[in-house]
């Protein structure tokens, strides 16, 4: 009997280890290994009990034997579920309830034994120390467990039989028979008095059930490294994977698909029901094969809540995009037996495509709205793309420009032909030409001055594939340049032909320009003045006084008379005005001085001064004569009046009144004298 127990320990260890190590990630393999582990522990307890020296010692393992027998059956049910009806083990509510059921029945024997309640067993060994005798008042609990387990096993095997293939149905029937045999033997083994026969029957039935599952796993290559790798790839793949039967029921869905759709507990549901919360998704799957992009809203709750009316509005700004592909699955006879749906999250790709499209639209807008003409040409100069500005410059419809050669619009003469050759040589040497001015010919034959920048285009391999030309009509600029050039020449003529000397300096006082008049005046000829400081014209040793500069900077201009020192040391009186030159920001950039030779004016002023002196003397003499003439006239008049009185009256006839008047006249004469 001991040898039999050793065999029942060694064989499960080998089988469980072999199956588990071949694919540690496969759920059936994990459960099979766990089932064998529970079997080994149970057999070890039986071995200990059978070899115990006393009945009391043997009775100590009774709770463990009963608890692990419960665990043996429970793991067996999970193994059957994983193989034939995965919906049971993958549905959280089913699995949670079953695990609670397992924990309760696993702990009951220990509670009953250690608290000496004896509600299930009598706690002692009767007649045979190798097996537990169920004699407690609540021994029907154990019977209920076995009935529930039997119902679960039969139900799962039946569901698997209905949904399985023909090859699977034979295996399911074999496992069903082995399980019934095992269940029956375990149920009646307590009534067999011969311990060796009882042990043999129990181990035989358990071994038969074990071999059935082993054969099934090997038959379907669940231990295959290739299949294990495929299973691992399916579990770890980033793309969602959904397997449907031909009725559209979900047979398998990997974690990536559940994460993408935020769906749980949808195994064995019809896809139309499971994805009812995603509008338009099921419609896209019509037909045996399909492919479409789907905008998947990121719901704040579980999508299953939509069926209950509890789903919040999707956050559209957080929507994700997925690419959905449906392919049909064919059986060995070439008939459709199901469908495979792959779902790939393409949110980043869509975002990139959107950004790329926005960038292209932005570039297209820039291309079309650019005020400069833009052409894309091939290596032969044939126009591949043109914007509206280019069409306007060439006086062509934009569509009619496509296919024409840029040489058709080039103005040809001796000078421009040579420049065109230089242009082509430079662009092939440097890869680009910037701000090249030339003439182009419009449709009506008129020429237009343009400024052209061109760049060669390359493919990823660095091979030239064409060119980009950007050009603008510079007719207005040329007119403006002509006007500016004319004004500049006009001002230069004014400066050069001015009779006054004009010099221009930068802000440091260094002369940058001098006209002919100042050269003749200062006796510096040619370019002698350029680069010299303006102080060379000062007669004093101190070039420019601080007071002079302060006044100039304060007022911006100054007018004064000074003496100019010539190159030969002569001194010429001048009148000069200095004005500061400023840029648009008001910063000083230099000064302009206008000098006028006032030697003739000084001579005239000297002559005028001499004439003024003579005139003043004459005016003074006239005033003195006038001052003398007035009293003399009075004296003369009164003297004549006296003489008239005397001549008319004679002395003997002079009256007293006449004497009185003559006396008054004498007083006036005295006063005037």
What whole-number distance in Å separates Cα of residue 71 and Cα of residue 227? 29
206-246: pLDDT as tens digits: 777 777 777 776 665 444 444 445 555 566 677 888 888 88
Asked if residue 395 lies in contact with residue 444, where contact means CB atoms within 8 angstroms, the answer is yes
DSSP 314: P
Q: How far is CA 379 from the centre of its chain?
A: 35
pLDDT, position 419: 66
Q: What is the pLDDT of residue 302?
A: 44
The whole-model pTM stands at 0.42
Question: How confident is the model at residue 223, as a pLDDT?
Answer: 44
Identify each DSSP E strand in 583-630 by its residue range: 588-597
Q: Identify whether the C-beta of residue 399 lies closer than 8 Å to the C-beta of residue 418.
A: no
Q: Residue 148 to residues 154, 155, 188: CA-CA distances in angstroms?
A: 10, 10, 18
Q: Which two tokens stand for residue 515?
A: 């006209």
| CA-closest candidate to residue 241, choices 346, 325, 330 | 325
Residue 251 in contact with residue 245, Cβ under 8 Å? yes
Give the relative orientation of helices 92-114 and 140-163 as an angle to the nearest 10 degrees: 160
CA distance from start to end of the chain: 189
Please, what sign has the CA dihedral across residues 640, 645, 651, 656?
A: negative
Q: Check if the beta carbon of residue 591 is closer than 8 Å to that of residue 580.
A: yes
Low-confidence ranges of the chain (pLDDT < 70): 1-8, 22-23, 25, 52, 54-56, 58-59, 116-139, 164-167, 186-200, 202, 217-236, 265, 267-268, 298-318, 332, 412-420, 540-546, 649-653
Q: What are phi and psi of 480, to 5 degrees?
A: -65, -40
The string of pLDDT tens digits covering residues 394-409 is 888 888 888 888 877 8
DSSP-derived secondary structure letter, 586: S
> What pLDDT score was predicted for residue 332?
67
Q: What is the pLDDT, as a whole number, of residue 196? A: 65
- Cα separation, 31 vs 22, in Å, equals 13
What are the contacts of 387-395 at 24+ separation with CB within 8 A?
389/472, 390/471, 393/440, 393/442, 393/448, 393/450, 393/471, 393/472, 393/473, 394/440, 394/442, 394/443, 395/442, 395/443, 395/444
Q: What is residue 521's predicted lDDT score, i.e. its pLDDT? A: 84
Distance of CA 64 to CAs 227, 264, 341, Å? 37, 37, 47
**Amino acid 309: pLDDT:** 34
């Amino acid at each position: 009997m001991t040898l039999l127990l050793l065999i029942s320990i060694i064989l499960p260890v080998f089988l469980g280890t072999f199956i588990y190590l071949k694919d540690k990630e496969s759920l059936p393999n994990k459960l099979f290994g766990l089932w064998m582990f529970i079997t080994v522990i149970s057999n070890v307890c039986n071995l200990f009990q059978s070899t115990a020296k006393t009945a009391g010692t043997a009775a100590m393992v009774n709770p463990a034997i009963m608890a692990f027998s419960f665990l043996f059956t429970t793991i067996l049910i999970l193994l059957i579920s994983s193989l034939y009806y995965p919906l049971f083990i993958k549905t959280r509510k089913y699995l949670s309830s079953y695990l609670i059921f397992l924990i309760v029945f696993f702990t009951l024997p220990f509670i009953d034994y250690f608290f000496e309640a004896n509600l299930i067993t009598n706690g002692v060994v009767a007649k045979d120390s190798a097996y537990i005798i169920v004699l407690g008042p609540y021994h029907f609990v154990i019977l209920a467990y076995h009935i529930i387990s039997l119902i679960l096993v039969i139900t799962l095997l039946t569901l698997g039989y209905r949904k399985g293939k023909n090859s699977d149905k034979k295996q399911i029937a074999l496992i069903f028979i082995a399980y019934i045999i095992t269940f029956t033997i375990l149920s009646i083994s307590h009534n067999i008095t011969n311990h060796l026969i009882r042990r043999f029957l129990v181990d035989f039935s358990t071994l038969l059930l074990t071999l059935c599952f082993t054969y099934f796993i090997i038959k379907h290559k669940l231990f295959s490294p290739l299949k294990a790798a495929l299973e691992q790839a399916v579990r770890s793949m980033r793309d969602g994977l959904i397997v449907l039967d031909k009725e559209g029921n979900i047979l398998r869905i990997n974690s990536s698909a559940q994460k993408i759709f935020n769906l749980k507990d949808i195994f064995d549901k019809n896809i139309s029901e499971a994805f009812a919360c995603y509008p338009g998704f099921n419609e896209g799957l019509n037909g045996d094969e399909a492919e479409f992009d789907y905008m998947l809203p990121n719901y704040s709750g579980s999508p299953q809540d939509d069926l209950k009316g509890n789903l919040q509005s999707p956050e559209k700004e957080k929507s994700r995009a997925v690419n959905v592909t449906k392919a049909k699955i064919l059986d060995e006879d070439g008939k459709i037996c199901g469908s495979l749906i792959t779902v790939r999250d393409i949110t980043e790709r869509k975002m990139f495509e959107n950004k790329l499209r926005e960038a292209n639209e932005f570039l297209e807008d820039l291309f079309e709205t650019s005020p400069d003409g833009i052409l894309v040409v091939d290596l032969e100069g044939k126009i591949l793309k043109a914007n509206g500005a280019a069409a306007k410059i060439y006086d062509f419809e934009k569509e009619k420009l496509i296919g024409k050669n840029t040489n058709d619009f080039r103005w040809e003469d001796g000078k421009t032909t040579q420049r065109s050759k230089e242009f082509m040589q430079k662009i092939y040497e440097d890869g680009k030409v910037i701000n090249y001015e030339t003439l182009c010919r419009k449709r009506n034959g008129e020429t237009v001055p343009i400024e052209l920048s061109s760049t060669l285009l390359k493919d990823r391999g660095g091979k030239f594939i064409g060119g980009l030309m950007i050009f603008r009509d510079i007719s207005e600029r040329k007119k403006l340049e002509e006007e500016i050039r004319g004004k500049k020449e006009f001002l230069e003529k004014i400066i050069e032909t001015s009779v006054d000397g004009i010099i221009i300096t930068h802000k440091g006082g260094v002369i940058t320009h001098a006209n002919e008049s100042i050269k003749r005046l200062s006796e510096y000829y040619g370019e002698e003045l350029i680069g010299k400081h303006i102080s060379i014209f000062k007669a004093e040793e101190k070039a420019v006084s601080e007071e002079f500069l302060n006044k100039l900077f304060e007022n911006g201009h100054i007018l004064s008379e000074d003496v100019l020192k010539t190159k030969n040391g002569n001194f010429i009186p001048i009148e000069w005005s200095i004005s500061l030159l400023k840029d648009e920001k008001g910063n000083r950039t230099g000064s302009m001085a206008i000098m006028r030779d006032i030697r003739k004016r000084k001579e005239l002023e000297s002559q005028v001064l001499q004439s003024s002196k003579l005139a003043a003397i004459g005016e003074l003499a006239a005033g003195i004569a006038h001052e003398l003439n007035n009293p003399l006239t009075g004296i003369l008049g009164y003297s004549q009046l006296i003489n008239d009185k005397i001549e008319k009256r004679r002395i003997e006839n002079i009256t007293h009144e006449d004497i009185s008047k003559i006396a008054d006249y004498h007083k006036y004469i005295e006063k005037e004298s």
